[in-house]
Amino acid sequence: MKHQSYSIHNYQNIDQFSKFSKEQREAIEVVSKVFPFKTNNYVTDKLIDWDNFEDDPMFILNFPQKDMLQDNHYNQMLDLIRRGADKKEVYSLANDIRRQLNPHPAGQESNVPFLNGEKLLGIQHKYKETVLFFPTQGQTCHAYCTFCFRWPQFTNMDELKFAMKQSNLLTEYLENNQSVSDLLITGGDPMVMNINNLKAYIEPILNSHSHNLNTIRIGTKSLSFWPDRFINDKDSEDVLRLFEKVSKSGLQLALMAHINHPRELSTKAVQEAIRRIRNTGVQIRTQSPLLNHINNKPELWSRMWRHQVALGLIPYYMFIARDTGAQHYFGTSLKKSIQIFSRAYSQVSGLARTVRGPSMSADPGKVQIAGVTKIRNQKVFVLNFLQGRNPDWVNKPFFAEYDENAKWLDELVPFEDDRFFFEDEFDEIKEKQDKKIVRIDNYKTTA
Ligand SMILES: *Cc1c(COP(=O)(O)O)cnc(C)c1O
Ligand code: SF4
């Protein structure tokens, strides 16, 4: 398949365009002024069910939906477009709306570390063992998910693109931080990079023997949005050879595949891509947020996890939709999230129970809703850090008052306490970060 990319400027050319009603076209044009929109011919031809596309999860995953904007925002933007306002005016309203949608959730700026006194804009280091790296050329995707939490990166509003060119700085940072066992190359989607760029980032790491890495992870949606990346692109073979080279070097390479719906695993192409990748010794782990309108049914998750295990993939994370962008549209309550997770989890064999969640990637850490229980006849959420800014917080269950509408950690109230156990220490960490004196492996631990 030859890759054909569509954006708001040429989506009239997709084969199925004539199916769109006037209202749908309007919605796509209005909403795509605020949220990024990009699709491709694999998604439109192989994943979307066009017989029933209005309610189709793959369509909702990839095409802007009217209700992703609140009515007042939608109508403001529609008015501007109708009266033919100029680009500048549209852009300025779009940015106004975006600023109201929490464009940088979970304090991402504060994860940017320093090396020799210099800020490393392409790196985020939040948890001791794992460094995130955002290669400049990997900050886009083959197609964009409508719910994407990195959405400001794909609009032109983001001055602070977490990207940097110099892979030698990355290697130096890893050498200077011996507590780091995992490097997670992420984006966007690093697999949009061509083989030369992939090599430029990965080979220096293989050639350095002074870091302490065990695993290189690559976060990607290409497996399900463009499986030809591993089959028929002109450098597909070279990509697989590079994967093999990493495996043979003694480092593990793990592809962190972003898969939201069982249909993404159903095509011949994705299954062929999985087979080829696994033949190189690379592991594939999977993750997805839980999303209204796309995958909010327990049977869908258990079916998806089972199919993943059958294909040799390892289920890894179920996330709770972040407090950003169109969360009012995609987000599910914590109550519903734990119901869906538990029901799905109880229906699969132990081999699929490698999955962890449902988890909120919040500022203090990854907080799992471990369950709902009762203490002295009062209903509570049981919470648990899967990752913490301070590693000492991990795996110490704690309680919050049950709240059937809460969608995120900041809406929860501690049970029989003024503050959650970690909050004083978290304030201290934030204060140090504001003064820019913190290094992740210098965090005070209470042990
Ligand atoms: C999730 C995440 C990681 C990786 O955590 P693991 O539990 O090792 O998968 C690293 N950094 C950030 C900022 C994360 O959100
Ligand atoms: S693949 Fe990831 S980064 Fe890319 S649009 Fe989807 S959620 Fe966003």
Same domain, 83 and 185: no
Q: For residues 108-131, give the mean pLDDT.
A: 87
pLDDT beyond 70 at 438: no
Q: How confident is the model at residue 165 (pLDDT cuts 50, 70, 90)?
A: low
Q: State mean pLDDT over 94-108.
A: 88
The whole-model pTM stands at: 0.94
Q: Which pLDDT belongs to residue 104?
A: 84
- Asked if residue 243 lies in contact with residue 207, where contact means CB atoms within 8 angstroms, the answer is no
Does 15 fall in a domain?
yes
- Is residue 440's pLDDT more than 50? no
The last residue of one of the domains, among 44, 74, 99, is 99
Pair 29, 176 in one domain: no
Q: Point out the ligand nearest to the CA of residue 219.
A: 2
Report CA dihedral (386, 220, 65, 163) to the nearest 10 degrees: 90
> Residue 140 burial by CB count (10 A; 0-12/13-18/19+): exposed, middle or buried?
middle
Residue 446 has pLDDT above 80, yes or no: no
Peptide bond into 358 cis (omega under 30): yes
The pLDDT of 424-443, averaged and rounded, is 71
CATH code of 306's domain: 3.20.20.70
Give yes or no for residue 188 CB within 6 A of ligand 2. yes
Ligand nearest to the Cα of 147, by number: 2
Q: Is 167 domain-assigned?
A: yes
Tell me if 127 CB under 6 Å of ligand 1.
Answer: yes
pLDDT digits (tens, 9 = 90+) for 252-298: 999 999 999 999 999 999 999 999 999 999 999 999 999 999 999 99
- Tens digit of pLDDT for each residue in 26-80? 999 999 999 999 999 999 999 999 999 999 999 999 999 999 999 999 999 999 9
Pair (19, 123) in one structural domain: no
Look at residue 114 in the predicted model and tell me its pLDDT: 87
**148 within some domain:** yes
Q: What is the pLDDT of residue 375?
A: 97
The boundaries of the domain holding residue 91 are 5-99
Q: 231 and 90 share a domain?
A: no
Average pLDDT for residues 208-215, to the nearest whole number?
94
Per-residue pLDDT of 298-346, as tens digits, reads 999 999 999 999 999 999 999 999 988 999 999 999 999 999 999 999 9
C-beta 132 within 6 A of ligand 1: yes
* Ligand 2 atom closest to the CA of 219, numbered from 1: 2
- Output the CA 39–ligand 2 centroid distance in Å: 12
Residues 94 and 112 in one domain: no
Looking at the fold, whether 150 and 95 belong to one and the same domain comes out as no
- 298 occurs within a structural domain: yes
Clarify whether residues 295 and 182 are in a common domain: yes
| 400 within domain boundaries | no
Q: Would you say residue 441 has pLDDT above 50?
A: no
Q: Identify whether 244 is part of a domain.
A: yes
361 lines ligand 1 (CB under 6 A): yes
Q: If you average pLDDT over every residue of the chain, what do you get?
A: 93
Residues 78 and 131 in one domain: no
Q: Are residues 52 and 77 in the same domain?
A: yes
Percentage above 90 pLDDT, the chain: 85
| Domain end (from 296, 330, 351) | 351
Pocket test for ligand 2, best of 258, 261, 291 (most atoms within 8 A of CB): 258
Asked if pLDDT for residue 156 goes beyond 70, the answer is: no
Specify if 434 maps to a domain: no
The reply to whether ligand 2 has any atom less than 6 angstroms from the CB of 141 is: yes
Question: In the chain, how many domains are there?
Answer: 2
Q: From the alpha carbon of 140, which atom of ligand 2 is closest?
A: 4
* Ligand 2 centroid to residue 151 C-alpha, Å: 8
Please tell me if the CB atom of residue 322 comes closer than 6 angstroms to any atom of ligand 2.
no
Asked whether residue 91 falls in the same domain as residue 141, the answer is no
Residue at a domain's end among 327, 351, 375: 351
Ligand 1 atom nearest the C-alpha of 184 is 10
Residue with more model confidence, 7 or 149: 7
Together in a domain, 144 and 205: yes
Question: Do residues 74 and 116 share a domain?
Answer: no
Q: Which residue has the higher pLDDT, 137 or 63?
A: 63
Pairing assessment for the beta strands 252-258 and 215-220 based on DSSP bridges: parallel
Residue 399 lies in a domain: no
Q: What is the pLDDT of residue 355?
A: 98
